[in-house]
Structure 1
Amino acid sequence: MAALNVNMMDRKAYFWGIQALRTGGLVALSLTLFGINPKPGLHGHGLAITITLAVVAVAWIGMITFDIRKWPLQYPLALLSVSGGLLSILQQGPAIVVPAVAAFSAGSNLEPQISTAITVAGALSLTVSALIIGGSTTAVLGFTVILGTALAMGMIRYAIAQRANQAEQLLEQSLRASAAETEAAVLSERTRIAREIHDILAHSLGALAMQVEAAQALLTQENPDIEKAVRCVERAGQLTREGLVESRRAVHALREDIGPLSEMIGTMVEADGGTMTTVGEPRKLPADASLALYRTAQEAVTNARKHAPGKATEVHLRYDPDAVRLTVTNELAEADAARPLTNSGGGFGLSGLRERMELAGGSLDAGREGDDWLVRAVVPD
């Protein structure tokens, strides 16, 4: 954006520089035309030159004013072209500068059809004036060539300016697109961080709450079992430390510095009392895919602990040539089994995991099969 601001400042400086040159040109032309023969006067041919010079001055000033005010520039340029054509025959010589300036300015600032019409009007003016007043055919042809050349030069400048404007617009669009892309990346990163925070809280705090509630139940029953309550508190402390480890791991994952997937899942499953098997040659996966599989295993183990406490949990990680597959199986609890943490959490674990897997290009499904509950996740490689 700073580059665009600098460019705008340069364009303003260029614009006012052009206006200064036009003003200086009017002064220089007036001094020149008043000093050559035939000179302006109050009678006959001199009076015609005086009136034409006055019209040229008005048109020239109009050209400057209309350009500054952003008014239709074709009107003063048309008047300048026609009066300049007449002046070119009345005074000859340097007077051809007037319609040439009109042709060049029209070609530089107006559409080709309009600028061509203005230039043709100037050429017709000097041709008709030559036929009426008298003028050599050679001079008329030479003046017409000068007007055509001025128009061509103006059109070339117009085309260059149009391309520059298009390039500037493309640059501005590119900068806006880059800003939008940056904003989208920031929002994506915020979503990723929010998902990590949810998963850590759902796993660590859910397990921690279960131990605290168990300790509370043991201490508030009719015959408090202090020994078991102490073990629950010790387990709660262990879960707190594991939560800190998970937080550090999440930070590393957000930096795309995640460790070996099989080791991460194996450590987590063994700490929970489950079993872990790995088939195939482990390989490094993209950070998002590894993290999605790890969080799936973590959520499945947490749900098993919540809904089927005490039941065995098995995790199977398979590295196939075309994909990595994760299966988490746990036995279903009896209908009358106690489930102290069944209603804990927000109930968004699996839906969040599905979203995570889809973002990583994979898929997830979960459901009952016989007496077991299965969670399957697949990430293509």
Structure 2
Amino acid sequence: MTRLPLVLMRLLTPAAFVAILVTAQPAAEWERVPLAASAASGLAFGALDLRWPRAAGVLLSLAALFGAVVAVADPSLTGPSLVCLSLLVLSSLAAITPAEIITVAVAVGVAATAGGYLAGQPGGLVAGNALAVSVVVLLGLNRRQYRVQARHARDLLDQTRLTQEAVARGATLEERARLAREVHDIQAHSLSALSLHLQAAARLVAELPSPDEKLAACVRKAGQLAQEGLIETRRAVHALRGDPMALPELFGSLPDNASIQVTGEPRELPADVTLLLYRTVQEGLSNARKHAAGAPVSVELSYLDDAVTMTVVNRTGSGSGLPGAGYGLTGLRERAELVGGEVTAGPDGAGWRLSARIPA
């Protein structure tokens, strides 16, 4: 059931009550009281249906009862019209149980039938009114059942979609864990072996009768890079496995010309978010070394209510030599998009600003 028929019902029901009230021609003045009360209950239903459906159901029940009074007093179509309209809308409300609907319909039908006989109305008219009430209630219950089934179908589709998403997430996590094992088995082991060999090479170079300082420096630098690569590989493995990583530990090796400031209340972040923030600092420091060697660099980590931001600012002392949009920034933006964040970079006075904002 689409939303359009429900909206039309809420708009047309009060209009129908108004139309019946305007076209009614009561035989006696006192009949205007139950007639107005029935129409007023129907109009109030339109205002309460969305927020208080059960209260709206009570109003429709009152509208049907007042309509039954009008039907007993006046054999015209005004009273039966009010009764049928009220019961049709009432029986289609999902918030009212079928037992309650049937109880109201039986009470209204018995009141109209007994009152009609006592008022001396023709038997055919009384029976016709009772039949009309029965048909209207059955139609309303059928419509209600359709709405309930449609709602259950939507709930089932939503549950199925959530289940499929959970299965997909599970498959993704399993694949990430497999990749983490592969990275660890290949890269980490290779880098560990490389680091050991470079350490051995450094010792051999130092034991030479006339060691070459440049060669020794190159070997030491290669060993340092191997160690850093091993650390980065382990961090990537942690991120793939979803293991939590602490930002303060990642920022423990900042260069002397870099200062870090943390604002807000620190909290645990997902591994991929933590790694992205760390990569942002790495990219900012790399740009600073290339384009503003030795210039001060400020790093600010801000924990906001709905996000975490990482900003790296370096001062070049001039407007030249600022970094452009290289592959490092492109990679950061792609990483940020995967977690729903954004990365911005651009001139900041005489320096350069790199900022990442991640919802977390």
TM-score scaled to structure 2, two decimals?
0.54
CA contact (8 A) 1:99 1:147 kept: yes
Which residue type is aligned with residue 6 of structure 2? F
Cross-structure match for 2:185: 199
For residues 199 and 47 of structure 2, the distance between their equivalents in structure 1, rounded to whole angstroms, comes to 85
For residues 202 and 138 of structure 1, the distance between their equivalents in structure 2, rounded to whole angstroms, comes to 94
Q: Deviations over 1:292-326 (max 9, x none)?
A: xxxxxxxxxxxxxxxxxxxxxxxxxxxxxxxxxxx
1:23 to 2:14 alignment: yes
* Equivalent runs, 1:208-227 vs 2, <5 Å: 208-221=194-207
Residue 168 of structure 1, aligned match among 154, 158, 177 = 154
Which residue type is aligned with residue 166 of structure 1? H
Cross-structure match for 1:151: 137
Which residue type is aligned with residue 165 of structure 2? A
For residues 208 and 29 of structure 2, the distance between their equivalents in structure 1, rounded to whole angstroms, comes to 126
CA contact (8 A) 1:108 1:157 kept: yes
Q: CA separation of 1:87/1:186 partners in 2, compared to 1, >3 Å: closer, same or farther?
A: same
Instruction: Note the residue ranges of structure 2 that are not aligned, 5 or more in a row.
Output: 234-360
Aligned residues: 216
Q: Deviations over 1:343-363 (max 9, x none)?
A: xxxxxxxxxxxxxxxxxxxxx
For residues 22 and 211 of structure 2, the distance between their equivalents in structure 1, rounded to whole angstroms, comes to 115
Q: Who wins on radius of gyration, i.e. which is larger?
A: 1
Q: Runs (4+) of structure 1 moved beyond 4 Å? A: 222-226
For residues 113 and 22 of structure 2, the distance between their equivalents in structure 1, rounded to whole angstroms, comes to 26
- What's the RMSD between the two structures over aligned residues? 3.0
Which residue type is aligned with residue 17 of structure 2? L
Residue 65 of structure 1, aligned match among 41, 44, 47 = 47
- Superposition deviation, residue 75 in structure 1: 1.5
* Equivalent runs, 1:203-282 vs 2, <5 Å: 203-221=189-207
Residue 167 of structure 2, aligned match among 174, 181, 184 = 181
1:108 to 2:105 alignment: no
For residues 57 and 225 of structure 1, the distance between their equivalents in structure 2, rounded to whole angstroms, comes to 106
Which residue type is aligned with residue 75 of structure 1? V
1:91 to 2:79 alignment: no
Which residue type is aligned with residue 106 of structure 2? V
Instruction: Note the residue ranges of structure 1 that are not aligned, 5 or more in a row.
Output: 1-6, 41-45, 248-381
CA contact (8 A) 1:218 1:224 kept: no
For residues 66 and 106 of structure 2, the distance between their equivalents in structure 1, rounded to whole angstroms, comes to 13
For residues 131 and 138 of structure 1, the distance between their equivalents in structure 2, rounded to whole angstroms, comes to 11
For residues 46 and 188 of structure 2, the distance between their equivalents in structure 1, rounded to whole angstroms, comes to 73
Cross-structure match for 2:29: 47
For residues 106 and 71 of structure 1, the distance between their equivalents in structure 2, rounded to whole angstroms, comes to 10
- Superposition deviation, residue 170 in structure 1: 0.9
1:32 to 2:23 alignment: yes
1:81 to 2:72 alignment: no
Q: Secondary structure at the match of 1:212?
A: helix
CA contact (8 A) 1:81 1:121 kept: no
Q: Secondary structure at the match of 1:135?
A: coil
Cross-structure match for 1:266: none
CA contact (8 A) 1:219 1:225 kept: yes
Paired-residue identity, %? 24
- Superposition deviation, residue 189 in structure 1: 2.7
TM-score scaled to structure 1, two decimals?
0.51
